[in-house]
Structure 1
Amino acid sequence: MDSYLANKRIERESHLPYYIQLKEILCTAIDQQHWEPGDRIPGEPELCDTFGISRTVVRQALNEMEHEGYITREKGKGTFVAQHKIRESLMQKLTGFYQDMLDRGLTPRTQVLKQRIVKASAKVANYLEIEEGEPVIEVKRLRSVNEDEPLLIVTSFMPANLCPTLAQADLENQSLYAFLESNCGILITRGRRFIEAVAARPDEAELLQVEPGSPLIMIDSVSYDDNNTPLEYYRALHRGDRSRFEIELLRLPERKAKHSEQ
C-alpha cells in the first residue's frame, strides 16, 4: 500500500460524496508533492481495496482529476501525475509575466529572440492607433519557468518614440513593464485582452517543444496609460498543456431602471 494513503480514509458519515473525498485525498497528495510529475499513482483496484469503495466511485474521481489536469491515463500502462500547469492571472493584474511568476514563488526565465526597430504593419498600427509604417520597437521573447521548459512566446510592439532606449534594454533579467516605468516614466494602467485557441505552426512548435498542430492559447493585448493612449500591443502564444488562466469576476451594483415621468 502507498505510504501516504495508508493513514487516509473515506468518512462514511460525511455529507460529501465518496468520489469527492477520494479526489481531495489524491489531489492533496499531488499538491504536497508526495507524487511528482511522471510518477505512477495507485491503480483502480488498489484504490478500491484501500478505501473500501466501488470502482465506479474511483473512476468518477479519476475522471475529474484528468479533466482538471492533475493526471494522465495511458491505456495498458496506468495513471500518472501530469506536468503541473502554470496558473496565470488573465484579468485584474497588469504586472506582467515576469513579476506574476515571482509573486507565485516561481523562477521566470527569458530568452530574447528579437529586439529591433521595424515599421508598423497595418495590424500593429491599428492596435496602437498610429500610422502604418511608423517606427515601432519589436521585442520577441521565449518565456520559461523553473526548469527551462518553454511556456509561451510573446511578441511586443511599442511606438519607438515613447521609449527609444527599449531597443537596447536587457530584458532577459527584468520585467518589460518595470523597465518602462523606471527608465521612461511610462506606467501602464489599463489593458484589453482578446483570447483565442489556435494550433501551433511548425516554427512555434519548435520553440515551445511541442508537436506541430498542438493546441495553443493566443492572447492579443493592448495596454494603455491614464489618458487612454495605446502604449503596447503584444501577441502571446501559451502552451495549452502547461497553462491555466485565473479570471477574477466582480459583481457590479445593479443599475436601477429610470422611468420617465409622463
Structure 2
Amino acid sequence: MNNNLPLYIQITNELREKIKQDIWPEGFKIPTEYELCDIYHVSRITVRKALDELEKENLIVRKKPIGTFVNQSKGLESNNNYTLVKSFTMEMNELGITIESLRVNVIVSHADHTIAKFLKILPGEKIIILKRLRGVNKKAIGYFITYFKFEEFFSLDSTDYQGSFYEYLGSKNIHIINNQEVVEAILPVQQIARILKVTNSTPILRRCRFASDKEHNFYEYTECYYIGSEYKYYIDFTN
C-alpha cells in the first residue's frame, strides 16, 4: 500500500480494485468489518470509513443483519445518464494547452486473463496495445497504455494515433459513453520513471480507465501515468 495516503483511502482503493477486476463479483458477500480489521491490521473505524466510500460509489450494499455485498449494478454502470467521456487531448485543449504525442507504439498481442476480463473477451484473443508518450514542447506530461480488442478495421500505423484516440474511434463510428476510473497517487516503478524521465521519488498520478461503447461492443482499458507536477485532474459535477 502507499504510505503517503490515509489508511482508509488505501483500503478503499484495494477493495475497489477487487470489485472492478471481478475478484469480488456481483452479489459477492465481502468480509465482515472485523475480518477486514484482521486482514489490514487497522481499527474498525478505519474499515468503516473505507466501506462508507465504496457505498457512496454504489459499489457495495449493506444489508443488516445479513452482511455487505457487491452491488449487482456495479456502481457507475447503473447510471443511465450517458456522458461524453473527455479525451486527454480535449482536457488539455479546454485548458488552452495543445498536446502532442512524443512517441507512439502500436503492438498486436493476446489478452491475458486480467485484460480479457476488462475487455469482455476470452483469454488468448487478439488485442491491440497502444503505448503513447504525450506532452508539450517535447516535454513529457503523461504515458498511456491502452488495450482494446483487435479488429481488422483498426489501423496498425502509429501515425493514425498521434492525435486524440477518441476522435480516431469516432471516425470508426465508436463513441465512448460509459466510463469508470480509479485514480491514485503513487511512486513510479523503474520502467515508468525511465519513460517519463523522472526520478523514482517523483509523485505520479495513476489513472486507470474502463471505457466502452456497448452498442458497438467496444471495450477499452487504459493505464495513464501523469507527472504530478505537470497535470491536475479536474472533476466537473455540473450538468
Q: Please give the range of the TM-score, normalised by the shorter of the 2 chains.
A: 0.5 to 0.7
Show structure 1 runs of 5+ residues with no match. 1-91, 252-262
Partner Cα separation in structure 2 for residue 171 and residue 98 of structure 1: 15
3-state DSSP of counterpart to 2:215 = coil
| Equivalent position of 1:118 in the other structure | 109
Q: Is 2:149 aligned against 1:149?
A: no
1:245: which partner in 2? 233
* Change in CA separation of 1:118 and 1:226 when aligned onto 2, cut-off 3 Å: closer
TM-score (norm 2): 0.60
Task: Report the CA distance between 1:112 and its aligned residue.
Answer: 3.2
Q: Hey, what does 2:125 align to over in structure 1?
A: 134
What's the TM-score once normalised by structure 1's chain length?
A: 0.55
Q: Tell me which residue corresponds to 1:222.
A: 210
Provide the C-alpha distance between the structure 2 equivalents of 1:174 and 1:242, rounded to a whole number of angstroms: 19
Q: CA deviation at 1:243?
A: 1.6
Give the partner amino acid of 1:158.
F
Contact persistence 1:215–1:240 (CA under 8 A): yes
Q: Is the 8 A contact 1:218 1:236 kept in 2?
A: yes
CA contact (8 A) 1:154 1:234 kept: yes
Partner residue in 2 for 1:181: 170
Higher-Rg member (1/2):
1
Separation of aligned partners in 1, 2:103 and 2:111: 20
| Contiguous gaps of at least 5 residues in structure 2 | 1-82
Percent of pairs identical after alignment?
21
Question: Aligned-residue CA RMSD in angstroms?
Answer: 2.2
Q: For 1:174 and 1:159, how far apart are their aligned partners in 2?
A: 20
Q: Aligned-pair distance for 1:157? A: 0.8
For 1:48-89, what per-residue CA distance to the aligned partner results, in whole angstroms no more than 9, with x for missing partners?
xxxxxxxxxxxxxxxxxxxxxxxxxxxxxxxxxxxxxxxxxx
After the TM superposition, which parts of structure 1 deviate over 4 Å for at least 4 consecutive aligned residues?
Answer: none
Distance 1:115 1:197 in 2: 27
Partner residue of 2:90 out of 99, 108, 111: 99
Aligned residues: 157
* Deviation per residue, 1:166-216 (Å, 9 max, x gap): 32252454211111111x211111211011222112221122121113221
Q: Show the counterpart of 1:168.
A: 157
Tell me by how many angstroms 1:111 deviates: 2.6
Matches within 5 A, 1:1-262: 94-145=85-136, 147-161=137-151, 164-171=153-160, 173-182=162-171, 184-227=172-215, 229-249=217-237
Once the 2 structures are TM-superposed, how far is the Cα of residue 102 of structure 1 from its aligned partner?
A: 2.4
Give the CA deviation at 1:230.
4.6
Please state how far the C-alpha of 1:165 moved relative to its aligned partner: 2.7
Q: Is the 8 A contact 1:137 1:166 kept in 2?
A: no
